[in-house]
Each structure stands twice: as C-alpha cells, then as structure tokens.
Amino acid sequence: MTDRSSLARITRVAAFGLFLACLPMMLTAQVPALPVQISADWAEMDDRRGIGTYTGNVVVTRGDMTLWADRIVIHAPERRPARIEAEGNPVRAEAPDLDNQPRVATALRMEYSIADDVLLLLREARVQTATEDARGDRISYDLTQDIIRIEGTPTERVQIIIQPRPE
C-alpha cells in the first residue's frame, strides 16, 4: 500500500505535469510570438467589466496546443487576464509532449487563476499521456510550487495508472 507522501511524489514526477504547466501559458498568451486564436459560435466582450465570454463550440489554439469547450469566460480587468474559466461536456485540452506523444486533459470544468498560478480540473477530471492516466473528481496543479493534487469523492477513489517507460 502506497502512503500519501509516495503517491504525491509519483504524481509530481508524472509527465502530465508538463502538460498542465503549458495550458495556462497557451490561454494567457504570455509568449507574444505565438498568437492565440479563438473560434466560437458567439462572443461577447464587456470592456467595462473586463470579461470576455465565448460560447458554442469554442476552440482556442496557440501553437500546437488546443482547448475545446462549450463556454469560456476570460476575466481581464484593465485588459490583463486574471482568471480563465472553461466549461464543457467535457472541456478537452491537447498538446504534444517533448517526444511528440499526445497529452490530453479533460474535465467538465477547468479554471486557471493567474495570480495564484493554480490550474483546476473539476468534475470527472482526467489527464492522459503516453505513460500515465490519472483520474479523480478534482485535479489541482500549483504551478509555482510544482504540486499536483488529485482528489476523489466519497464514492469514487483516485485512479492512477503509470506505464513503465521503455528502456
């Protein structure tokens, strides 16, 4: 039986952490050389409140990273992104890893707080890579501390599968 400390260490080392680290950069356009493209059935920008809402088959692309959602809300007071919320059935984010293998994160809701540098995957959260598959009700990734927490529910436990890497 693995204790909580060992499990936390295993999940921190897992390759999907790299994917989660890339998602906020994709959404907030921190690297000006790559444009962020947003496609949706409907969009509304409220400059006074600093809120952009994109609804209906929303696709956000930046470089080789793509996010699909039913609805995305970007909170950007004074035109500075502070919080990003995505909802879908499910929200899906994809980006290749350093070996060009697929990395996929899905959840019914994803939230990213720029000030706290924390990405949350909420409800039916799952992250898959070529060698790992993690599932839980909530996956939280503190990008500053480099800590990944996976939580289950009273009726569903956390599930993690780690495939051995080829030698």
What pLDDT sits at residue 34? Answer: 66
- The closest alpha carbon to 79, from 54, 46, 42, 111, belongs to 46
User: For 4-162, which CATH superfamily applies?
Assistant: Lipopolysaccharide (LPS) transport protein A like domain (2.60.450.10)
Q: Is 23 exposed, middle or buried (0-12, 13-18, 19+ CB in 10 A)?
A: buried
User: Could you tell me if 22 and 7 are in contact, meaning their C-beta atoms sit under 8 angstroms apart?
Assistant: no
Give the pTM: 0.75
Could you tell me the two tokens for 48? 């006074």
Per-residue pLDDT of the chain (167 residues; tens, 9 = 90+): 445 444 433 333 333 443 444 455 455 544 455 677 889 999 999 989 999 999 999 998 877 878 899 999 988 888 777 888 999 999 998 878 777 888 888 999 998 887 787 889 999 999 888 888 999 999 987 767 767 889 999 999 999 998 887 77
